[in-house]
Chain A
Amino acid sequence: MSATRAALVLAAALAALPARAEDVKPSPTTAPAPSASTPNAGTPNAGMERLGLKFSRDQELIITSDEAEGVKAPGGRESVVFTKHVKARQGDMNLVCDWLEAIYPEAAAGRPDKITAKGSVVIVQGTNEAHCSEAHIDNVACTAECHSEGTKATLHRGTDDVEADTIYFDLCKGTVKAVGNVEIRVREKPGGTLPIGPAAQPPAPAQPKAAGG
């Protein structure tokens, strides 16, 4: 996909986003409507899959850290807290953070149904890279949200950046939704020929490069 097309997909996907989180706080199970959030509404899946992070449920989840502590909570639920140099990997998705809590359902089932990551959280999948101070992943709802205290969560995708108070991911559909003080930076890829993004100006009249310095 060209840089122009990628930027347009991203820009159009985010164009309709509200500026305030409380205006449209998505339910954990609701992904943004494909027709509203992607320009290629005729082929929504193709467009959506390029936007966010996506789970590979058939892949094993591996978490490594310097220390871990498992605690049984009343009611049969269990949690394991991983601390210091925490890394989690599932398929091609990687997460790095300082502190991670995996909460298991009752009866000690193997897969955690909720994961909370804190402290310099970085989630990487392909060209997507999300940064925030706290991330909540809900394995049952197949969603993740990434937000930062006192600053913004960011999502880098190739040469494009999204910043917002909170960035929501539908990990099954691969969609992304940024909510609250959203800023989008769409940059032309090196070697690209067209200006892109919502702030892009129409092509300037023929102006020799040398004149621009």
Chain B
Amino acid sequence: MKRIPEGSGAVQRRAMTSGMAALAAAALAGCGSPLEGLDTGTRAQVQIPPIALQKILFEGYHGDLQDLTVTAATAVVDTATQIAHLSDVAIGFAGDDGRIEIAAPVGDFRLDGDDFTLSGGVSGSTAEGERFTTVSVKYISKRRVLHSDDAVKILRSNVDLSGNGMELELAHQKLRLLGNVRAKVKPE
């Protein structure tokens, strides 16, 4: 069984979006010899154990604009796979049309690409009061897109929308429902 070193108390981290991988890199930096990179010998590769953190805050930036905030109760950073396994995750996206918040009990954050997957029952809301729920959702950082292949329900003032999947372009808040779409507009 791997021993997981724990962070000392609450850890709050601030990093550039492109530098989120630096979290793992920084953790690794103190663990190995700087000469290891030059070592071409036959020694077995040192495996860095996962790192446990609590009360996580990541902030992502595009240029000077902070467009992504990730909070989580705990994170276990797997340095081998470059994935941070998060619990009680909440993510906020800033956009031209207001902020979008999503939350889920479980999240996997890919440190090498800033992509993540939320699962275990995802709920989200927009600045205009729309709410959506789905089982899991992926964030594709390169395209700034939230994608779900699971059934989605979207609720707004008096419209219920549902579909078998969705894709939300965060930059323009363009929502695409995929498969078996149903919109129910309640009477005035």
Contact = CB atoms under 8 A, between A and B. Distances in A.
Contact of A68 (B128, B173, B181, B186): B181
Interface in B169-188: 172-188
15 contacts: A60-B184, A60-B186, A61-B183, A64-B181, A65-B181, A67-B179, A69-B174, A70-B176, A72-B172, A108-B157, A110-B156, A110-B158, A110-B185, A111-B158, A111-B185
Q: What is the size category of the interface that chain A forms with chain B?
A: 20 to 34
Interface string B155-173: 0111101010000000011
A82 interface: yes
Contacts of A72: 97, 172-174
Contacts of B173: 72
A61 B175 CA distance: 20
Contact of B183 (A57, A58, A80): A80
Contacts of B156: 108, 110
Interface residues of B, number: 27
Given A110-B157, A110-B159, A62 B174 contact: no
Contacts of B175: 69-70
A59 interface: yes
Given A68-B161, A110-B159, A82 B181 contact: yes
Contacts of A80: 183
A60 B174 contact: no
B185 A69 contact: no
A210 interface: no
Where chain A touches its partner, the secondary structure class is strand
B181 A61 contact: no
A63 B187 CA distance: 14
A58 B185 CA distance: 11
A22 interface: no
Interface string A46-77: 00000000000111111111111111100000
Nearest to A104: B159
B177 A67 contact: yes
A32 interface: no
Contacts of B187: 57-60
